[in-house]
Chains A and B, each alone.
Chain A
Amino acid sequence: MLFYLFKRITSLIATLVVASLVVFTVIEVVPGDPASYMLGMNASEDTVQALKTELGLNQGRIPRYFGWVSGMLRGDFGTSYTYRTPVADMVSERLMVSLPLALSALTLAIVLAFPAGLLAASRRGGAVDSIVMAITQLGVAIPNFWFAMWLVLLFAIKWQWFSAGGFPGWDIGFWGGMKALTLPAIALALPQASILARVLRSSLLDVLNEDYVRTARAKGLTRRQALWRHALRNAMIPVLTIIGLQFSFLLAGAIIIENVFFLPGLGRLIFQSIAQRDLIVVESVIMLLVFAVVLVTFLVDIAYAWVDPRMRRGH
């Protein structure tokens, strides 16, 4: 187990180093600089140079790369060029929206997907199975922004139960904040729940054909007992992988939904910063996301090992 952990941690660090190089290089080659963007069309060249000096953009690339990396190691992610506030503060503010949103969407997806997937698998070929398959097919196919607009149309404009969007902040209370995240979470959860339910179903069906399940049945367990006691745990590996991927996706990839509901989340921060060439924000936020994804993958790997003892021995 220790060796397994060591291997995982080494690859985690290597991934981060490579990612930091790639992120920095890619962003450096993109044309456009933040100072000219901020000063617009009427500014003279010496004004742009003055601002570049003030922002520290006149240094060479290599010192800037090392400055950036060593800053991050000390927990200093730099100061946004355009907002003039520390990137760490901006990110933590955005995470206050993105993290609860991703978590509630994922929870909702799991809550919907598990019963659906289990039901469908245990009644394979039956009416329930067909219905679950049809609904999840639709859930995967419907674009989530379109679904989101329907939610807005019905719940915000027609019935006015919810705001059309925006985020009032947590200082108005937990439920007030959650209320603002409800529609976006539903819009995000539907396709994820559909994917998850389908993966769970097919993974269960695969496992149900395994020898050990047949043995369990031969031992006298009913089909359902065999499913609960033996198949489910083994069917979890692909499901955990998908959940891990979904969480990373929901954290930063919710940008379309953030736009529909004008939520101040991480996705919009990145989008805005790229347009404004706020390079330091883009670089640092992407690195944080890389870190989050790598960490989630790492945790999922550990969870595999927990679910499946064979993995601990490095097979």
Chain B
Amino acid sequence: MNILLNSYFVKTHRLEISITIIAIVLFLIYFLGAPHVFTRFPIYRAFMQSMPFFGIIAISATFVVTLGEIDLSFPSIVGITSLTFGLILTATDGNFFIAFALASALGMFAGLINGLLVTKIGIPSIVATIGTLYFWRGLVNVISQGSGVAIVDVADSTWHHTLFVEKLFGLIPAQFIWFIVLTALMQWVYRYHKFGNHIHFVGDNKDSSQMMGINVDNIKIIAFVQLGFFSSLAGIFTMYEMLYFWPTQGSGLMLTTLAAVFVGGTSVFGGKGTIFGTFIGVLIIGSLESGIVALGLSGFYVQFINGIMITSAVTIYAIIQRKKT
């Protein structure tokens, strides 16, 4: 047992192991408390359907949080890019390529603005992105005048609808497969690509990174831009699933997304994080609401238990970190 605890893998993956154990315990509780729900497939299908929408953003946001920065504007970026996607898809009578290109370009542009405000103007990211959070949501309201956009006529039963949200073998939603693929890809970039490497260095110590020849501003800007892109992607997935745009689209994503990143074990102080942890964080946060209701507790408990989960997870990580130093 001692050898196991002191092995290299365990030492370097403490966070990942802790979060996995928390998730297993949680699902055991679900399983024992509500076997009639959790021994059947539909609940898992529902999870696979709903988790990717905020999961994709959480994976991407892990890069920004590892930098020691935060982005609060992504819910509104989801809003404005979903609206753009819906309007253009309708206007072009279902031209996926134009709608996708423009919506994702707008997402990256929104990320670029965040990045420039933080690096070139020097506004702390928490403040800058509160500004852009309101800006993009405000623009959604002005353009949509408070009404929705239906894309059912131009999107339903198209090849792109199939590509984004159709169920594989009638069982596994396509968005979940995309989510897994993107998570694997981003994990690879995060750990083994020069960009991911630089993200860690900049988040660890900005001044040292600068002196080692890393272009700190560029790294931050790219991090915000990719988050803008993945926010637009999440928006497009939501559009295909719902076939409808509503002006508050995306605004519920803020807390679940950031909670998944922090529960996943990425340090608020920057320099250290894990994509795998965020993935497990998504499974935890994304399952809490249905899990709690299935256990027979009323929906009023959801926020309360969410609060317990987040607080205890970050407390455990803080203690693990302190032991290391």
A and B co-occur in one complex: no
What residues of chain B have their CB less than 8 Å away from a CB belonging to chain A? none
